[in-house]
Amino acid sequence: AQSVTQLGSHVSVSEGALVLLRCNYSSSVPPYLFWYVQYPNQGLQLLLKYTSAATLVKGINGFEAEFKKSETSFHLTKPSAHMSDAAEYFCAVKRTGANSKLTFGKGITLSVRP
């Protein structure tokens, strides 16, 4: 079975500050890992994905994440927050085998203060 833990439900940063959103996973087989962003009343947009190539993954809008197998983590970072980054962020895991469903964490709401 797979699971994702996103500690805390809300993170608040100042504009221009570092964004760090934590994600830890549990998987019995090597996983694929994803970060999605959801703006109010919209669907999910893929930010970035890890599919067993480079452990440091760069995504859209200046976000990146690093896969650390020893820590079972896939934390999302951005050096400098913008007001437009305010949204909900979901980490998700997927098995690389036949079962193709995504298992999501509960999500983290990011607020950006002026």
Binding site for other proteins (CB under 8 A): 9, 32, 34, 36, 41-46, 49, 90, 96, 98-107
Minimum distance from CB of 90 to other proteins (Å)?
6
Nearer to other proteins, 13 or 105 (CB): 105
- Nearer to other proteins by Cβ, of 85 and 105: the residue is 105
114 in Cβ contact with 83 (< 8 Å) = yes
* Residue 74 contacts residue 65 (beta carbons within 8 Å): yes
CB of 86 to other proteins, least distance (A): 18
Q: Which is nearer to other proteins, 28 or 100 (CB)?
A: 100
Sign of CA dihedral 52, 80, 44, 11: positive
Q: Which is nearer to other proteins, 17 or 24 (CB)?
A: 24
| Contact present, 69 and 96 (Cβ < 8 Å) | no
Closest approach, Cβ 92 to other proteins, in A, equals 8
Q: Minimum Å distance from CB 18 to other proteins?
A: 24
CB 49 within 8 A of CB 36: no
Taking the CA atoms of 76, 78, 79 and 84 in sequence, report the sign of the dihedral they define.
negative
